[in-house]
Chains A and B, each alone.
Chain A
Amino acid sequence: QKEVEQDPGPLSVPEGAIVSLNCTYSNSAFQYFMWYRQYSRKGPELLMYTYSSGNKEDGRFTAQVDKSSKYISLFIRDSQPSDSATYLCAMSGVQGAQKLVFGQGTRLTINP
């Protein structure tokens, strides 16, 4: 079993739809949770960073962490064609830990 599981998709939705992206994990030591967006042939771009359980909102993006279920989500409201990319979840343990563990990434396409 992988430490972090993420549905690779591809996921295709119409413009304006609400998108839900999810990851599950098995390591209860993870406390820092991140979502990255990666366009084709580019490096990942940090979208959201969350510590422990709870919600965090930034514009059209909302990140949720449920540590009891070992489940994290990223919601995109009013999706735009420019949101088409691969979304990677990542997580790490106690502060100071060096390694991020990534999910496989979900390929998302927003259709105009």
Chain B
Amino acid sequence: GAVVSQHPSWVICKSGTSVKIECRSLDFQATTMFWYRQFPKQSLMLMATSNEGSKATYEQGVEKDKFLINHASLTLSTLTVTSAHPEDSSFYICSARGGADTQYFGPGTRLTVL
């Protein structure tokens, strides 16, 4: 149980294009999902908290117009990186809250912007 999937697992795009990443909770409903960013050999940095049916809450320093988050259902949240640039290249990981304060993580999406 408590499986979270992400799609795609990796993506390469040209600078200036937009990329959408999907996060799904496969066997449970998640009213809250989280989006993290992870640089090589570093820990996870929380970008935003996504609540089903409402606007996402962004962490300080994260541009909400650049990283668009939509949580349209209890099992799906999407992160769209708009007008991507090379500095946006990173490993993006989502998680879904599963009871109390545990979070179950997806396998991550590696984004490379050329």
> Chain A residues in contact with chain B, CB under 8 A?
8, 32, 34, 36, 41-46, 49, 51, 88, 90, 92, 95-100, 102-105, 107
Contacts and interface: CB of A to CB of B under 8 A. Distances in A.
A85 to B, nearest CB: 13
Interface in B39-81: 41-44, 46, 49, 57
Contacts, number: 58
Interface size for chain B: under 10, 10 to 19, 20 to 34, or 35 or more residues?
Answer: 20 to 34
Q: Which of B44, B100, B108 has the most chain A CB atoms inside 10 A of its CB?
A: B44
Interface string B70-114: 000000000000000000000101010100111111111010000
B contact face: mostly helix, strand, loop, or mixed: strand
Nearest to B4: A43
A86 B91 CA distance: 15
A78 B110 CA distance: 33
A20 B97 CA distance: 28
Contacts of B103: 46, 90, 100
